Amino acid sequence: MAVYTEVADEELFAFVAGYDIGDVLSFKGIAEGVENTNYFLHTTAGNYILTLYEKRVHEEDLPFFVRLMEHLAARGVTCPQPVRDRAGEALGRLAGRPAAIVTFLEGLSIRRPGPRHCGALGETLARLHEAGRDFPMRRPNALSLAGWPPLFAAAKARADEVSPGLASRVRDELAFLAAHWPDALPEGVIHADLFTDNVFFIGETVSGVIDFYFACTDFLAYDLAICLNAWCFESDGSFNVTKARAMLSGYERVRRLEDVEVAALPILCRGSALRFMLTRLVDWLNVPHGALVRPKDPLEYDRKLGFHRRAASARDYGLSR
């Protein structure tokens, strides 16, 4: 989440007037994240999040995200619900951008999760995967294997400005992943961006999952690899196998990984680390002038890739079988 597009008061009031959510009492930009413009919206009817869709979110994909959130909520996954306007539409336009209002979820994101948080996250992720089994829509993952070379092409000329030798390391990694990326793994709806700021907790219990705007159809275990990268490394760059073991155990309490998924886990972790390193690199080099956004460090994921290259099997991630 971030603020790229400023919204004038008069535009906001006119937009909200099309909904049965009362009068606007206050609204404030949310600075966290990097993808869309988000405002916290407080009205006489309650609290909401207003999102204006920017950058990598394509307008034609928005019905997928809206219907997925409604589908998952109907099956017990706590996530924001799109608020439909008086005409029954969940999507509108504001300040020249596609826009939506969604319900506000209670809870806090955990900046430094412990093993219990990781275990709860694993369970929640598996429940999300199970709840999405009968979702009828499909959306290819534009940021999987075929999407990484174009990202590198957009950044390679300046990659070594960020870290000497980075372009060469990425080039080698792309070649390795192209030769070793798995196929025929179990697939379905994945969140694809389940970082700590997209999961809310009350105590050590997950109270909700947000930000489904990278959700797509892909390998279920790839979603788990994204979470291992996002949740199980410490600030000094070390991998916390205790957290990883808790996450994998939590996941398998709901959905047991197949043997082919276990075997593929190290390569999936490498791929997910490269994906976030590349998108962060592009963002790092192309922050819009005046945007209220803090770009995230791409080298964090370059360091994580170093760990994954040394991993021999799923045992290195805490999975004993």
DSSP code string of 204-219: TEEEEE---TT-EEEE
- pLDDT higher than 90, residue 72: yes
Confidence of residue 308 (pLDDT cuts 50, 70, 90): very high
Helix (H, G, I), strand (E, B) or coil at 231: helix
Tens-digit pLDDT profile for residues 265-281? 999 999 999 999 999 99
> Is residue 289 very low, low, confident or very high in pLDDT (cuts 50, 70, 90)?
low
Q: What are phi and psi of 54, to 5 degrees?
A: -125, 175
Query: What ranges do the domains of the chain cover?
Result: 9-103, 115-317
Could you give the percent of the chain with pLDDT greater than 70? 95
Asked if residue 5 has pLDDT above 90, the reply is no
91-106 residue pLDDT tens: 999 999 999 999 999 9
Residue 19 half-sphere exposure, CB side, CA atoms within 13 Å? 29
Query: Would the CA dihedral through 27, 31, 32, 37 be positive or negative?
Result: positive
Read off the pLDDT of each residue in 171-185 and give the average, rounded to a whole number.
97
Whether the CB-CB separation of 182 and 217 falls below 8 Å is answered with no
Across the range 233-247, mean pLDDT stands at 97
CA distance 140 to 7: 32
For the stretch 21-31, pLDDT in tens is 999 999 998 87
pLDDT of residue 288: 66
Domains 9-103 and 115-317 share a fold: no
| Residue 37: predicted pLDDT | 87
Architecture per CATH, domain 115-317, reads as: Alpha-Beta Complex (3.90)
Q: Which residue(s) pair with 49 in the sheet?
A: 40, 102
Of the two residues 108 and 55, the one the predictor is more confident about is: 108
Degrees to nearest 5, angle at CA 55 with 51 and 60 = 75
Query: What integer best gives the mean pLDDT of the chain?
Result: 94
**Reported pTM:** 0.92
User: Are the C-beta atoms of 240 and 234 separated by less than 8 Å?
Assistant: yes
Nearest to 214 by CA among 59, 82, 56: 56
Per-residue confidence band for 47, with pLDDT thresholds at 50, 70 and 90 = very high
What pLDDT is attached to residue 6?
A: 85
Instruction: Kindly state the tokens that stand for 277.
Output: 């390193």
Give CA–CA dist 224/78, Å, rounded: 19
Distance of CA 91 to the CA centre of its chain: 21
- Give the residue-averaged pLDDT of 286-296: 69
Coil, helix or strand at residue 97: strand
**CA–CA dist 285, 293 (Å, integer):** 13
What is the pLDDT, as a whole number, of residue 48? 97
Query: What pLDDT score was predicted for residue 1?
Result: 42
pLDDT band, residue 291 (cuts 50/70/90): low
What pLDDT does 320 receive? 81
Rounded mean pLDDT, 187-206: 97
Mean pLDDT of 2-10: 80
Question: How buried is 234 (Cβ within 10 angstroms: 0-12 exposed, 13-18 middle, 19+ buried)?
Answer: exposed
Mean pLDDT of 75-96: 95
Tell me if 54 sits within 8 A of 36, measured CB to CB: yes
Model confidence at 321: pLDDT above 80: no
CA distances from residue 13 to 21, 23, 26 in whole angstroms, order as listed: 12, 8, 10
| Residue 35 reports pLDDT greater than 50 | yes
Fold of the domain spanning 9-103: Phosphorylase Kinase; domain 1 (3.30.200)
* Structure confidence at residue 54 as a pLDDT band (50, 70, 90): confident
